[in-house]
Structure 1
Amino acid sequence: MNYTTAHNREQILESADEDYEDCEQAIKIVCSMLSHTLIAETASFMTLASRKLYPVAMRGNPATPAATSLREYHFIVLMVKLASSHADGRAQDFADNRFAVHNLLLEERKHEHLAEHFRMLMGLWVKEAWDKQREEDMEKQQRHAWEKKTKKLQEERERKRHEAENSDQDNDSDINSDSDDTATQESHSPASPAVQIDGEDDDEIVAPNLFALMASRENDTYEDEETASEKDKTSSDEMEMSSDEETSLDEEMFGE
């Protein structure tokens, strides 16, 4: 948008009453506050209106009612104010200035075609203002949606990061707990005489304890010796009994 600055517009408004006779300067001032799409139509309307509203003869006769009216509500001043309020987005000032220009054009019936042309021009101005406002609103919505989406993605990343950290902490806690349980079980479990080794068929193979095996062998040897001794004793007793029986039998036979 090719708008003048607010400071320049204030200077323009202050000097507009003195420079109103220079219509070309007024057109440049107004067009500098408008977008490029409105410049051509606005310049054409202002040129036509200036020729119809300010004949040279009227300017030299300030006593005429038309000249007095134009001087009080001068077309150039109103158009400059109208363009300024449009550029600044001051809706109420724009409406007031538009109403004043329209009434000025309706003061004489022969200028009704100018009023109609002015209404058409104001329709273009208003449409552009609405389009500009809608574009700004759309940009705000897009920016808001983008900021919202970005914030949501950041929150999602933060949530996943916290979940990962908590999961790692839980895993470390479980590992430490299992290690503590294993160490506790090993410290409190009694010494077993055998070591269990897992085989391919899941059968438990028991490896004998060396000390238990030696003790078992000593017990077996001791038991074998006792058994042999008992057998010898039994055999001796049997032999003695057999000898006694033979002696008794001989005595009986010889005694008879």
Structure 2
Amino acid sequence: MTEAQLAQRAQGIVRIFNEAGVLVAADVHVATRVCSLGGETSEEVMLAAALAVRAVRSGSVCLDLRRMRDVSVDNATEDELTSLPWPEPSEIVAALRLSPLVIGGNAGPLRPLRLVDTDDGELLYLDRYFLQEQTIRRVLDERASTWPPADLKAVRTRLDSLFVDENGPTTSPDRQRIAAALATTQWTTVIAGGPGTGKTHTVARILALLSEELGLNARIGLAAPTGKGRSTSARVRT
């Protein structure tokens, strides 16, 4: 933990977690400021808010309160992390259900936290990310309710030309061909698989299918989060 990662004015339980490296200064500052603006004094709520910020910083849109102890910290052992004064999830949930940061309060309409009940337990969102997730969900639901116009006979012919088994006919399903067929006949498709399973090969043929189907109306955008991903995108384009 460097000096820059320590919140100098942190107090109470968030300071302990900050000094242990579970929280960084940004997590603590956001949580303490939000609690101050909302008139929240509960340490359980402040810790939950800081952990929710940490979750977003770590790549998740929410904090699974059942698994909030599942954290890893550089230079900290599992025993050291386990020995921290973790509140019970039920205590945090009870505090959140009464918190003005969740239900609103006299300090104003500020409700930056969203507690969501699921069949598997409670999730805590920063409200902005909950709204963004719901927007994406709504768009995907709308896209799933209709299908693009497609000449299925023509699609089958193009699939036959693009997916040729060099080893001859086989009884095993060609999952790459199936993925390409689905991508051509629905608005949204997710292609997933481990290294070497042919994702790039499949995407290139999907683009070929769509280009033939749409012609000059085809609009293709490629985005990648890493340098390796950009290299893969370049191979797809060629």
TM-score > 0.5, shorter chain as reference: no
TM-score with structure 2 setting the length: 0.28
More helix by share: 1
TM-score with structure 1 setting the length: 0.27
Structure possessing the higher radius of gyration over alpha carbons: 1
